[in-house]
Each structure stands twice: as C-alpha cells, then as structure tokens.
A and B are shown apart, each in its own frame.
Chain A
Amino acid sequence: MNADSNSPAERQKQLVRLLTQNQRRIFSYLYTLVPDRHAAEDLLQETCMVICEKFDEFQPGTDFVAWACQIAYWEVRAARQKFARAKVVFDDAVLEAVAKTAVEMTPELSERHEALAKCLEKLHPRDRELIITRYEPGGGVEAAAQRTGRTIVAAYKALARIRKLLQDCVSLQLKTETAP
C-alpha cells in the first residue's frame, strides 16, 4: 500500500516541493504589488511563514499559486497598515485590481519568464552586463552605470531601452511558439 499522502512527512515533502517550485511566482506577484526588491523579499519571507503555518488548510489538487497569492495579498495589506503605506504604491482599489490581474495572468507570466531566458542570451553582451548588474544581489543602477562606464542618466535610459527590447523579444517569442 502506498504511503498515506496525508501523513505529516508526506505533507512536509509536498510543502517543500510546492514552495520550491513556486516561490519565484509568489515573489513576482509580491513585487507587482510592492515594487521594491527588499520589501518584496521581506514580504515573501513573511508569506512563506504563513504558508507553512496554514498548509493544513491547503487542499491538494487545487491551485497552490492562487492560494499562496491570496496569503501574499493579505501580507501586503497588513504591511501597509503596519508601515503606513511604506512601499505600497497604490490605493486599495488599484492594489486589488492589479492583484486580481496578476493572478489571472499567472500562466502567461510563467511562459514569459521562460522565454526571457532566451531573450537574455540574445542581448548584446554590453546590454546584458548592464541589466544583470542592475538586477543582481547588491547591484543597482549606480553599480550598473559604473561597471559599464556609463553616466547614471545614460544608464537609466539604457535600462528602459533594454527592458523594452526584452519585453518585445518575449512577446515575439511567445507568438512564434504559439503560431500554427
């Protein structure tokens, strides 16, 4: 007979697997609501704590990401009260509308994330260096400007241009993949 899938050990394994598979998606959702890396990471940690504590309530077979995002959403709301809006940029109505959109778009966003890897490889090395330095842990616009020998203003402009390039590349990639 198979091991009971509801045994504590099995549930623990299941939790580890689900969290490992989906934490990037939860982070992405949080960052959409709280566009500050450190704040979003703090909230991810808080969210993961709550997910661990409430995992008994999760129904196996249902959508884990949607369930986790619901928890994440309430963490964002709680953070707003605690820190007086702190890094939460939008009012409640817009926050809710954006949150809903983000959850609905989860499958598309996963595809976009995958496609982005290919688009990053296609970037000119100089552009890739800039964008990676901007986003790597401990990096930032200043570091990226310094490392690639640009002024700060030029780096901001270049970053906006590269993001647009990547966004277009990702959209094209998905169109090509879904074309008959």
Chain B
Amino acid sequence: MNLSDKIRVELNELCSGLVDGTLTEPQRRRLEQLLAASPEARRVYVRALSLSASLFDYASEMQTEAPERSQRPNYLVAVRPWRWAIGALGAAAAIALAFWLGGLAKSGSGGEIQPQEIVAHLSGAKNCQWTGAAFPPGAQLQSGQRIELAAGFAEISFDSGALLVLEGPASLVVNSAWEAVLRRGVLKASVPQEAIGFRVSNAEVDVVDLGTEFSMVAEENGATEVFVLRGAVEAHPRSAVNSPARSSLVLREKQARRFERNQVAEVRNREQKLQRFVRKISLDRVVQPSAFVHWPFNEASGDRAAADSAGTIADNNRFDARLASSSSSELTSAHVDGRWDRALNCDGQLAATALVPPFAQRTPRTVAFWIKVPPDASVAESEPILAWAPASGGDHLEFAWNRAPNQGAFGALRTSAGPAFIIGTTPLRDGQWHHVAIVFSHSVRGPLKIQIKQYVDGRLDRVSAKHFAKRKAKEVGAETTVASNGEGTLSIGRRSNERGKAGFRGAIDELFIVGRALSQREIRMLMMQNRLPTPDTFAGN
C-alpha cells in the first residue's frame, strides 16, 4: 500500500526527531504504530536512518586521513574527501579485529575510537602509578587512548581547553578534543568558555558541560555520580530513551545526581562529597621553555619592525622585519593603533619581510597573531596574510582568509601547506580584532606528516585531521639541517616576489612564531596577556 504524502511528511519528521534525539514519547509511539502497520513506512524509515548512518560515515572521513595508496600524491586535498574507504566508524571493527588477530578474546566495551590524532596531553601529575602504559609529564595523548591510573592524580589538558584531573584508581578513554569516557574512578573537569560542549560519558550517563567545573565518580558497578562545583552541566541518562523521566537534567552549582541502572537518584552525603572535590590538588607540572620570535609592530614610523626573540634562537635584531611598499604612499599608513599598542597596517601594497626563525624543520611550532580585516575587503585583498617560504625543501606555508566559498567558510582562516589546506569556520572579515593561532604538531601518522590545528579567539576552530604530508626534502628520513641563515623568508602582507599584484588588506599585530606546539591554555594566555607562559604560570591550579 502506498503512503499518502501527508503520512510521508509525518514519517520524515518523526525520523528526524528520532535521529536528533528530540522525539517525545507520544511521537515514538506514533512512529512505532506506523512502522508496525505498513511495509512502505518501514522502507521510508530504513532509508531515513541509513541516510544518517551514511552521513556519520562521510563526516568521519572528513576527520580521518585517507588510507595510504601507492598512486596518491603525498599530500591530501580537502576538496573531495568523499571517496575515502575507511572512516572512523570502522574503528570499532578495527579494534575488535586487532583483539582477535592478537589472540585476545576479551571484548573491549565502550565507544573507543582508533588512535588517529593528538587531541590532549598530560599537563600535570602527582604520585602517579599506572596500570597500563605509563605517561611521562607532557605526554601527547591520541584520540582513542586509554589511561589506566592505579593511584595518584593525572591532569589531562584537551586541545579544546577542557582540563580533567583524574584520581586513581581510574580508567579514562580520551576520545577527542571534545570528549572523554570515564570507565571508572573520579575526575574533576574544569571547562573554560571556549570548550563549552565538552562531554564526559560512560555507560550510565552523558555529561555535557555548559561552562563549569564538575566532578564525576564512576563506581566499579557502573553507577555514576555527577557533582556540579560551579556553573551548570546537562546530564543525559543513557537509559533515557524509554524511561518515563526521559528528558535530560540540567544540574547547577552544588547539585548532584546518581545514575544507576536506569534510575536517577539523589546523592547520599552530597555536602560531604562536594567538599572533597573542592579541595585543590598541588600537581607537578612541566612547562617547556619556549624559543620564539615576536614582532610587536609597535613602531610609530619607519621601515623596520623590530623583533624580540628568546630561547635557543635568541638573536638581537636578526629577525627584524623590513617594510617595503609598492605604492607611492611610502609607508605613511603602515603603523596604526593595534590590539596591543601599535600594529602593522597592510594596504594591499605593503610587504614586510623577515628571516624565518631557524627551527629544525620537523619540530612542532605555533604561529599566532592578531588580525583585523575590514568587512569590505575584496577577494583580491585576501592573501597572503603571512607566507613562509622555506630555504630548502618542505612546503610553503601560507595563511590567508578563505576566498573560495566552494571550499569552506568564506572569510575564515585558511592555512595552506603546499597544495593542501584547511579552512576554519569563524569568519574573520568583520572589522574586529581576532586572535588566531595555528599549531603544527607531529602527526601520529608518521614523521613526515604534520597535524594542523587552528584556534580563533582562543577556541579550537579546526583540526586538520588531514595529516598533511610534508614533502620529502631529498630522501626519506633525511632531517633537513638548520641553515645558519634561517629556514627561509617570511613575508607579511604580500609575497615579496610578486610585483603588480595586490596583497592582504587589514591590520596585523603581535606576531609570534614559537618553536613548539602550544596548548589551548597557553594560546589563551598569549591572547589575554600577550606573553608566553613561564614554568610557574599554571602552578597551583
């Protein structure tokens, strides 16, 4: 029997509600009734749900590197990722397979995903004893990584900015920059505004943070207690779909709930337990020293922009930038009020050039700066904000705002590494100052590949997850030596070798190039205080 158009519309709406988790109990019953009554309704339903399953798959692929193929070029382009063969959804199967092939018959449970990229690091520790793999302070944590802590405290900083302190005995799976699974044990989460939406889940409950501090205690039997110390969280009982009290709970300051076998209950001795979580724990931390070059652009006039530098590459005046303009205005408009003191104003004609700091080619690094793009900036005035041409081998790096709407959000930050690129989501072309930081770190996919993260205004805006392949300089594994005159040339505002073509229009301020991958907290500090952390910066938190 064919369905009427009206019923089809209704069915589609019900399926949408089911997929998005907004279906009410009467709607669920209605859907069940339709499916029970009509084979055609079941086909419509299966098509609708399969569409969503396919979308999970395609969206996962955008987060996953394509499998190596001999015929592929050694870079990945973000334009047509749809055809890749293995998405993250395959990870569960891959894990099962690994267990089986490894002769281990025990099933892992929970939704871990296969390690793919670095999403967090161990930022602090105290008296840690590990059951599984031991993590030294500063250890990078990949998605899917399981942390088994027998005793002590471990602080995990997620790339989103969320901070978890785990108290042993505990077992946690780091799923992504935005999600962790607490299998058992105690954790305390501090989630800054940039990481709102960070989620901790387990078999009993999903806790979505709304900007807060909360604690979670997962007992051996699965029962889980959630305590809000500050702000609010949204807790979704895992059993909620069919329980009468279906809706999720918003827990506010000092509130707590216990989630156990489909029941949501008050927590016994709540006050007493809350007290325990409020106490501060003094953790041992490692803050790596930073080698960096910083162009503050504070000059009021002239054709130089002085740079200060620190760490192993410190060198007076060596990195100072030279300003040149192809127009007759002779740099009169090059110095304007900035985000911090003065800034460099690029009018499409101005080019500033400097030596690129001589970091070893494959070391992680961070590029951070403030940028203000006029809302009427034309596409011809989009690039490059910065262009980085290495002296020998390696890809050219360029930072611009995206002018190709078919490739990603128009006006958002675009980082190109050779022919590959990623595009953020936050439009920059609004006449406001924005802080951007681009972090290049080692990829888990091999020494020749890098992972790129873009932060805008302190928030993780985009992770490449396309693990950019660095071009092999001369031969595989050959480490490019650090040339004494730096890695090459940094052009600001305009490519120095391009004549007659307009460059970037907008202002740039407080450019930092740092010789390591900064964490979200460090980027936030750079944004708020215009300085890099010292070893005691985060002590006592």
Cross-chain contact of A109 among B46, B82, B197 (Cβ < 8 A): B46
Chain B residues whose C-beta falls within 8 Å of the C-beta of A180 in the assembled complex: none
Instruction: List, in ascending order, chain B residues with CB within 8 A of A136's CB.
Output: 59-60, 62-63
Contact at A28–B53, with CB atoms within 8 Å?
yes
Cβ 8 A contact of B89, one of A24, A36, A140: A24
| Chain B positions within 8 Å of A23 at CB level | 89-90, 92-93
**Contact A163 B239, CB 8 Å, known A19-B93, A136-B60:** no
CA distance A120 to B13 in the complex (A): 21
A151–chain B nearest beta-carbon distance, Å: 14
Q: How far is the CB of A62 from chain B (nearest CB, A)?
A: 20
Assess whether B20 is in contact with A49, with CB atoms less than 8 Å apart. Answer: no
In this complex, what residue of B is CB-closest to A31?
B53
161-178 of chain A: CB within 8 A of chain B: 163-164, 166-167, 170
- Contact A32 to B46, CB < 8 A, known contacts A132-B59, A135-B56, A136-B60: yes
**Nearest CB to that of A27 among chain B residues?**
B89
A10–chain B nearest beta-carbon distance, Å: 14
CB neighbours of B199 from chain A (8 A): 138
Give bound CA distance, A141 to B47, whole Å.
21
Which of B58, B95, B99 has the most A CB atoms < 10 Å from its CB?
Answer: B58
In the complex, the answer to whether A166 meets B51 with C-beta atoms within 8 Å is yes
Known: A27-B89, A42-B111, A125-B409. A137 touches B60 (CB 8 A): yes
Residue contact A135 to B55, C-beta cutoff 8 Å:
yes
Contact A46 B107 (CB under 8 A): yes
**In the complex the two chains form, what is the Cα distance from A31 to B89 in whole Å?**
12
Q: What is the bound-complex CA distance between A138 and B55, given in angstroms?
A: 14
Q: Is the CB of A38 within 8 A of B201?
A: yes
| Most chain B CB within a 10 A radius of its CB, from A85, A91, A93, A135 | A135
In the complex, the answer to whether B12 meets A112 with C-beta atoms within 8 Å is: no
Considering only residues 246-301 of chain B, those with a C-beta below 8 Å from chain A are 261-262
Would B100 and A141 count as touching, CB distance under 8 A? Answer: no
**A20→B94 CA distance, assembly (Å):** 8
Q: Are B101 and A12 in contact (CB under 8 A)?
A: yes
CB-CB under 8 A from A93, the residues of chain B are 36
Q: Does B16 sit within 8 A of A, measured CB to CB?
A: yes
Q: Hey, what's the 0/1 contact readout for A104-148 against B, CB within 8 Å counting as 1?
A: 010001001100110011000100010111111111111100111
Question: In the assembled complex, which residues on chain B have CB atoms less than 8 Å from the CB atom of A88?
Answer: 241-242
Given known A87-B241, A102-B46, contact A49–B99 (CB-CB < 8 A): yes
Residues B65-92 near A (CB distance < 8 A): 80, 82-83, 85-90, 92
B43: min CB distance to chain A, Å: 6
A-side contacts of B242, CB under 8 Å:
84-86, 88-89
Q: Assess whether A101 is interfacial by the CB under 8 Å rule.
A: yes
Say whether A49 contacts B57, CB under 8 Å. no
Q: Is A48 an interface residue (CB 8 A)?
A: yes
- B442 contacts the other chain (CB 8 A): no
Instruction: Return the contact of A98 from the options B12, B46, B109 (Cβ within 8 A).
Output: B46
Does B32 contact A90, Cβ atoms closer than 8 Å?
Answer: yes
Chain B nearest CB from A107 CB (Å) reads 12
- Residue B472, interface by CB 8 Å: no
Point out the residue from B20, B36, B45, B88 that lies within 8 Å of A141, measured CB to CB: B20
- Whether A65 sits at the interface, judged by CB under 8 Å, is no
Contact call B93/A48, Cβ cutoff below 8 A: yes
A23-B93, A38-B201, A102-B46 known; A129-B409 Cβ under 8 A: yes
Query: Nearest-CB distance from A74 to chain B (Å)?
Result: 15
Contact residues in B for A156 (Cβ distance below 8 Å) = 16, 20, 22
**In this assembly, does B304 line the interface, its C-beta being within 8 Å of a C-beta of chain A?**
no
Residue A78 is within 8 A (CB to CB) of chain B in the complex: no
Residue A69, interface by CB 8 Å: no
* Set B51, B95, B241: member contacting A36, Cβ < 8 A: B241
The reply to whether A112 and B56 form a contact with Cβ atoms under 8 Å apart is no
Q: Is A5 an interface residue (CB 8 A)?
A: no
Contact check, B92 vs A135: say whether CB atoms are below 8 A apart. Answer: no
Looking at A24, A31, A97, which has the most chain B CB atoms within 10 Å of its CB?
Answer: A24
* A142–B197 touching, CB < 8 Å: yes
Cβ contacts under 8 Å, B107 to chain A? 45-46, 49
Return chain B residues, CB-CB under 8 Å to A53. 100, 105
In the complex formed, the residue of B with least CB distance to A37 is B56
Taking CB atoms, residues of chain A closer than 8 Å to B54 are: 24, 28, 112-113, 116
* 6 sample A-B contacts, Cβ–Cβ < 8 Å, listed by A number: A45-B107, A84-B239, A84-B261, A88-B242, A112-B54, A129-B409
Task: Given contact pairs A31-B52, A160-B16, enumerate 19 new A-B contacts (beta carbons under 8 Å).
Answer: A12-B101, A15-B97, A32-B49, A35-B52, A36-B241, A48-B93, A49-B99, A52-B97, A53-B100, A89-B241, A98-B35, A98-B42, A112-B50, A112-B51, A121-B82, A129-B409, A137-B60, A138-B176, A156-B22
Residues of B within 8 A of A (CB): 12-13, 16, 18-22, 28, 31-32, 35-36, 39, 42-43, 45-60, 62-63, 80, 82-83, 85-90, 92-93, 95-97, 99-101, 105, 107-111, 113, 175-179, 197, 199, 201, 208, 238-239, 241-242, 261-262, 405-409, 425
